[in-house]
Chains A and B, each alone.
Chain A
Amino acid sequence: MPAAAVHSAPQNVPSARVQAATEDSPIVRWSLIAISVSFMALFVLIPLAAIFAEGLRKGWDTYLASFTDSHCLAAVRLTLLVTVIAVPLNLVFGLAASWAIAKFDFRGKSLLVTLIDLPFAVSPVVSGFIYMLVFGIQGWFGSWLADHGIQVMFAVPGIVLATIFVTFPFVAREVIPLMQEQGSEEEQAAITLGASGWQTFFRITLPNVKWAVLYGVILSNARAMGEFGAVSVVSGHIRGRTNTLPLHVEVLYNEYNFVAAFAVASLLALLALVTLGLKTLVESKLHSH
């Protein structure tokens, strides 16, 4: 870190006047730190602490018992299943989109990039609703699907679709800028030397962007496990069958089972924290790269 080097030996090179113009005075520094910490405490830390405190209100035994309920376990399984389907699909898409966008020039590219970002800005409620319009029994393909005995809405496929939609841009968003930055000289050299397209991709491109890919996957993962609004519209809320973990939290909350609701919520928070830990790790790799 060059910044740290400057910190440790500032008096060597520049004069005191220079230091005054590049460093903040201790008062400024500490008050800014105080502002940051209290802002984060107010908005993030205290709500996080509240989740755990409410979950543990009746002690560890009750807390742990919340997870052994069969509906809760079913919700965990469903959440994992949905994540494991949705994230790889978006990963493949993200890689394909990055290759096309970063390595080639074509008309309408910036429109394409904006469209890829679009799901990010769509209200989750709307994203559930649009699938209803297409796959619901009153929708475009609804009766055809029903005639062929395929259930999309209120079943796993619908939940997967909604999850894919809300996590759609994350891998592409992370990988495209990096691939653009790296250019395509290496790939072109490899192709000229006789490597196949797939070889080039797997041996050269992918290793170059792997940390960005992983970062995108982690973001998608976090969002996929936590999506509430969109999934709520398409799930049907069948206990033990189509309730994901966030929906299960809502169910428990509505049953006045606050301790269990917060316990399960804390599990989700824990999952989020683990994901974020992984992310920090990846991030440092990404930076050192």
Chain B
Amino acid sequence: MPLKLSLASLAAVALLAFVGCKPSSTSDATGGQGGAVTLLNVSYDPTREFYSEFNRSFTSHWKEETGQDVTIEQSHGGAGKQARAVIDGLKADVVTLAIGYDIDEIAQRTGLLPTDWQSRLPHQSCPYTSTIVFLVRKGNPKGIRDWNDLVAPGIEVITPNPKTSGGARYNYLAAWGYAQRQNGGNEQQTREFITKLFRNVPVLDSGARGSTTTFVQRGIGDVLLAWENEALLAIDELGAGQIEIVVPSVSILAEPPVTVLDKNATARGTLDVANAYLQYLYSPEGQRLAAKHYYRPQEPEHADPADMARFTKLERFTVQDEFGGWQEAQRKHFADGGVFDSIYQSK
């Protein structure tokens, strides 16, 4: 009999919970006008620290400007996974992802935003940029200076999987671009270079943060290919005195774009605040915070010179110039049966 009682109470709790969660989830979906407003920013992994501070700054800025309370919710994860969640119906107001390709996919598959989204904000909708650098162990025991050192026999290179990590596609493309320059555009030789490089990779984590953990915490590998902002952050958070940065002779311009998902924001009544949120990324304060969190700001004059001093000058080629854009790079290199797959299939 006590069992019967507890069953009944359990069922009652369940019912309450169901009833209780219904209204709250629908009110979330409609959002508010005038009163408090909630914004959902769906982002990729390495922007956590930056947006956590930026959101606080924007919240008080918006309060001053309009008197309205805005709560910004964050979702982080691998770029591909995040874009897929948005395509499958995650109601994001803004997306801030690693590569334009993923936002193109959202535009094409859902129509939540126009396909010419990238021209809506300055600098191709990229308020900040980065590049790919090397992290090596203290004192650089293997003497790694440039990309060609990575293909030497016995060197272990750590990078996430380009198939599942948007950031890792930049790693791959940076190496490819370097090799093309070295070989005078001989693609056969470049393929061999890339194959040798990935033969030196013992672990392909599914995301950038996983790779950093593998390299720093697990002590695996001689060199980690990482976004500059991730590398600088890793030194601060994990490995001051254990690891150091090596900047190669040439690398890629990493352009993580941001945009508003018009239809979602309109439906939720958040279009104005969402636009203002992204505009604020280009403001002096937004640019300063980006530099503080190791991203290269588009307008360096607003950044703290001490922050800017951390960025080494280097030649950075773009995906557009070198590969004819993301669609083309994706199709040739990363699609099933592409160049990346052939690395592992030609044993």
Contacts and interface: CB of A to CB of B under 8 A. Distances in A.
Given A151-B91, A154-B91, A237-B77, A88 B25 contact: no
B276 interface: no
Given A85-B17, A254-B209, A256-B213, A155 B25 contact: yes
A85 B45 CA distance: 31
Contacts of A214: 3
Tier of interface size on chain B: 35 or more
Contacts of A239: 73-76
Contact of B90 (A85, A153, A207, A240): A153
A154 B89 contact: yes
A155 B21 CA distance: 10
B21 A156 contact: yes
Contacts, number: 105
Contact of A154 (B7, B11, B90, B210): B90
Given A149-B30, A214-B3, A136 B89 contact: yes
Nearest to A256: B237
B142 to A, nearest CB: 24
Nearest to A95: B7
Contacts of A251: 76
A87 B7 CA distance: 11
Contact of A238 (B17, B21, B40, B88): B40
Contact of B238 (A206, A213, A256): A256
A143 B1 CA distance: 46
A137 interface: yes
A43 interface: no
Contacts of A154: 85, 88-91
A254 B45 contact: yes
A153 B88 contact: yes
A144 interface: no
Interface in A144-175: 146, 149-151, 153-157
A238 B30 contact: no
B3 A206 contact: yes
Contact of A240 (B25, B42, B73, B210): B73
B217 A258 contact: yes
A146 B89 CA distance: 9
A154 B82 CA distance: 11
Interface string A54-91: 00000000000000000000000000010011011101
Interface string B219-254: 000000000000000100110000000000000000
Interface string B1-36: 101100100110110011001000110111000000
B90 A88 contact: no
A120 interface: no
A210 interface: yes
A104 interface: no
Interface in B102-125: 109-110
B234 to A, nearest CB: 8
A185 interface: no
Tier of interface size on chain A: 35 or more
Contact of B10 (A84, A151, A255): A84
Contacts of B110: 137-138
A253 interface: yes
A206 B1 CA distance: 9
Nearest to A202: B4
A81 B4 contact: no
Nearest to B237: A256
Given A81-B17, A256-B237, A238 B73 contact: yes
A119 interface: no
B14 A85 contact: yes
Contacts of B18: 85
A103 interface: no
A236 B17 contact: no
Contact of A153 (B73, B77, B89, B217): B89
Contacts of B90: 153-154, 236
A254 B76 contact: yes
B207 interface: yes
B87 interface: yes
A157 B24 CA distance: 12
A132 interface: yes
Contacts of B40: 238
B89 A253 contact: no
Given A137-B110, A153-B88, A155-B25, A206 B4 contact: yes
A223 interface: no
A279 interface: no
Contacts of A150: 26
B48 interface: yes
19 contacts: A85-B17, A88-B11, A137-B88, A137-B110, A138-B88, A139-B88, A149-B30, A151-B25, A151-B28, A151-B91, A154-B91, A155-B28, A156-B25, A157-B25, A202-B4, A236-B75, A237-B76, A253-B209, A256-B209
Interface of B: 1, 3-4, 7, 10-11, 13-14, 17-18, 21, 25-26, 28-30, 40, 42, 45, 48-49, 73-77, 82, 85, 87-91, 109-110, 207, 209-210, 212-213, 217, 234, 237-238
Given A206-B3, A238-B73, A254-B45, 7 more contacts: A84-B10, A84-B17, A138-B88, A236-B85, A241-B73, A251-B76, A256-B212
